[in-house]
């Protein structure tokens, strides 16, 4: 990483220190995050019903999740780069309305190929939205509130995982999976009105202000943020994807819903804490989160067959993980400055590579070394994460000014 790379100026903000905190507008962006995560993850909870209704095997129905991730993975960076000059609110509305269309198609489609295509497009809109919301949040507030604003927006993620997915799965069982996707489509129309009323518009970047993908990827601190994101999320998804066989090893196969509830509630506490402290302690929070997750991994590696250790470990894991989306996206946005949207698209791509990689690596480990090997892979990944975060003291995960 070249030390002579230019550091872009901070994103222009419409807010001053005396302006009230724009909670309503940020909550609208948080609802966008909520709908995005719900659209991504809900098929996992409705897999059996969707496979029966669409006339395919569960393994084939699982590709509805794969196509979504693929859509995000292959389009987030080029699509974000191509739309840098667009005004921000119209582009945000395109992404939101896109979810309404693809979820409506999913709700009514009886053709599996058409449903797969809709899921791929859902991933495309997700990649665009994730690339937008972080830069949007930090432009709505003055410098000293950027982390808090990001925490409000990113709260949509743990809320979707801990409350939205269980509720959607329950509704899918009670009223049918198509009804659940129809509800999500309706929510997007509510969100459009909310965005128009409470979310300000911002200009895009002129051609002479835009940085190339190569220049953004080599800005001081950006490689560190991307590596930390990739390694940490890879560790998380390797275990989370195969949490069912892991807890079964401790005799908790019938208590998976309780285990996941513990994780979800702890994650909600984490996102609250990150929101309170991120503007003053971002670097320290990243290091503490990484260290806590590593300690949990060691405990699960040594005593993963003990139910009490599994419950305590999953709770501590939720505390470690709940706020990391906020931490990493805030670090990326602050480090990239004017190039925040492009940097966010890279972070989204790294995150989705980690999701896919966790499924593949975890599957190989499950078939070869068994679930008891998972924690030790996590320890190695998290040690690398901690080393890179520690060294990124000047750029990427720099200490905040606490004057």
With b for 16 or more beta-carbon neighbours within 10 A and e for fewer, the 259-276 pattern comes to bbbbbbbbbbebbebbbe
CATH 1.20.1250.20 in the chain: give the residue spans. Answer: 21-206, 211-403
C-alpha 142, offset from chain centre: 24
Count of H helices and E strands in the chain?
Answer: 18, 0
Mean pLDDT lowest for which of 14-23, 77-86, 141-150, 217-226?
14-23
> Which one, of 114, 77, 67, lies nearest residue 348 by Cα?
77
3-state secondary structure of 193: helix
pLDDT band at residue 293 under the 50/70/90 scheme: very high
pLDDT for the residue 203: 83
Checking if the pLDDT of 7 tops 70, the result is no
- Report the greatest alpha carbon distance in the chain: 62
C-alpha closest to that of 44 among 161, 191, 203: 161
Give the model's confidence band at 1: pLDDT under 50 very low, under 70 low, under 90 confident, else very high.
very low
Dihedral, CA atoms, 37, 324, 2, 146, nearest 10 degrees?
Answer: 90
271-283 per-position pLDDT tens digit = 889 888 988 899 9
pLDDT of residue 8: 41
Where helices occur in 109-176 by DSSP H, the ranges are: 112-139, 146-154, 156-159, 165-175
pLDDT (tens digit per residue) in 312-323: 999 999 999 988
In this structure, what token pair is assigned to residue 153?
């927006």
- pLDDT tier at 170 (50, 70, 90 boundaries)? confident
Structure-model confidence comparison of residues 209 and 357, the more confident one: 357
Q: Are 283 and 276 in contact (CB under 8 A)?
A: no
Q: For position 259, what pLDDT does the model report?
A: 85
What does the alpha-carbon distance between residue 300 and residue 246 come to, in Å, rounded to a whole number?
10
Among 139, 133, 175, residue whose Cα is nearest residue 37: 133
Instruction: Judge whether residue 167 has pLDDT over 90.
Output: no
Token code pair at residue 361: 């690596």
pLDDT at 213 over 80: no
Tell me the average pLDDT across 233-257: 86
Nearest residue to 156 (alpha-carbon basis) of 68, 266, 35: 35
Q: Which range is least confidently modeled, 6-10, 13-17, 50-54, 159-163?
A: 6-10
Q: What is the pLDDT of residue 391?
A: 95
| pLDDT interval class at 76 (50, 70, 90) | confident
The arithmetic mean of pLDDT across residues 30-53, rounded, is 85
Closest of 97, 126, 127, 89 to residue 188, by C-alpha:
97
> Looking at the whole model, is its pTM more than 0.85?
no
Nearest to 136 by CA among 38, 185, 204: 204
Could you read off the pLDDT of 332-363 as tens digits, one per residue? 888 887 777 788 888 888 988 887 788 788 88
166 pLDDT above the threshold of 60: yes
Query: What is 21-206's CATH topology?
Result: Growth Hormone; Chain: A; (1.20.1250)
Q: Give pLDDT tens digits for 89-125.
A: 999 999 999 999 999 999 999 999 999 999 999 999 9
Token representation of residue 103: 């979820």
What's the pLDDT score for residue 13? 52
For residue 245 the two structure tokens come to: 């066989």
Determine the Cα–Cα distance for residues 340 and 400; give it in Å rounded to an integer. 18
Whether residue 243 has pLDDT greater than 50:
yes
Q: Which residues, in sequence order, are CB contacts of 306 under 8 Å at separation 6+?
A: 250
C-beta separation of 89 from 132 below 8 A? no
Residues of 189-218 as b/e, b for ≥16 C-beta within 10 angstroms? eebbebbeeebeebebeeeeebbebeebbe
Comparing 55-69, 126-140, 193-207, the range with the smallest average pLDDT is 55-69
Kindly indicate the confidence band of residue 152, based on its pLDDT and cuts at 50, 70 and 90.
confident
Residue 242 near residue 371 (C-beta atoms within 8 A): yes
Q: pLDDT tens, 16-29?
A: 556 788 999 999 99
Q: E strand or H helix at 194, and its extent?
A: helix 177-198
For residue 234, name the pLDDT band (cuts at 50, 70, 90): very high
Q: Under CATH, which number does the domain 211-403 receive? A: 1.20.1250.20
Which uninterrupted H or E stretch holds 182? helix 177-198
């709260």: which residue's tokens? 155
User: How confident is the model at residue 5, as a pLDDT?
Assistant: 36
- The backbone region for 10, taken as left when phi is positive above 0, alpha when psi lies in -120 to 50, beta otherwise, is beta
Judge whether residue 202 has pLDDT over 70.
yes
pLDDT > 90: percent of the chain: 41
pLDDT surpassing 90 at residue 311: yes
Q: For position 6, what pLDDT does the model report?
A: 39
User: What string of H, E and C letters represents the secondary structure of 213-259?
Assistant: HHHHHCCCCHHHHHHHHHHHHHHHHHHHHCHHHHHHCCCCHHHHHHH
**Average of per-residue pLDDT across 53-58:** 85
Average pLDDT, the chain: 85
């Amino acid at each position: 990483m070249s030390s002579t790379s230019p550091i872009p100026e901070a994103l222009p903000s419409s807010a001053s220190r005396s302006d009230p905190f724009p909670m309503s507008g940020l909550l609208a962006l948080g609802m966008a995050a909520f709908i995005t995560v719900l659209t991504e993850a809900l098929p996992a909870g409705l897999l059996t019903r969707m496979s029966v209704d669409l006339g395919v095997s569960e393994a084939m129905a699982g590709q509805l999740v794969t196509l979504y991730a693929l859509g995000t993975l292959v389009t987030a960076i080029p699509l974000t780069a191509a739309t840098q000059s667009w005004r921000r609110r119209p582009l945000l509305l395109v992404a939101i309305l896109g979810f309404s269309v693809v979820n409506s198609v999913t709700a009514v489609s009886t053709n599996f190929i058409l449903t797969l295509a809709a899921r791929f497009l859902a991933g495309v809109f997700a990649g665009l939205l994730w690339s937008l919301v972080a830069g949007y949040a930090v432009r709505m507030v003055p410098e000293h509130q950027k982390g808090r604003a990001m925490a409000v927006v990113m709260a949509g993620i743990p809320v979707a995982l801990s409350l939205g997915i269980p509720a959607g799965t329950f509704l899918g069982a009670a009223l049918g999976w198509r009804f659940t996707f129809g509800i999500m489509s309706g929510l997007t129309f509510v969100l459009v009105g909310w965005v128009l009323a409470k979310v300000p518009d911002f200009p895009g970047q002129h051609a002479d202000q835009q940085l190339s993908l190569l220049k953004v990827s080599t800005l001081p601190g950006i490689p560190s943020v991307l590596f930390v994101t990739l390694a940490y999320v890879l560790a998380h998804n390797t275990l989370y994807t195969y949490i069912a066989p892991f807890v079964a090893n401790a005799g908790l196969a019938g208590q998976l819903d309780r285990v996941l509830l513990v994780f979800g509630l702890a994650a909600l506490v984490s996102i609250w804490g990150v929101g309170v402290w991120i503007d003053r302690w971002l670097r320290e929070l990243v290091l503490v989160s990484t260290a806590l997750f590593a300690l949990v991994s060691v405990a699960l590696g040594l005593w993963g067959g003990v139910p009490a250790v599994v419950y305590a470990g999953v709770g501590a894991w939720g505390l470690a993980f709940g706020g990391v989306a906020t931490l990493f996206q805030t670090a990326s946005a602050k480090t990239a400055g004017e190039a925040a949207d492009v940097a966010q698209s890279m972070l989204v791509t790294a995150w989705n590579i980690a999701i896919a990689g966790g499924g593949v690596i975890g599957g190989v480990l499950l078939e070869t070394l068994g679930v008891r090997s998972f924690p030790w892979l996590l320890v190695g990944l998290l040690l690398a994460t901690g080393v890179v975060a520690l060294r990124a003291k000047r750029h990427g995960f720099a200490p905040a000014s606490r004057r």
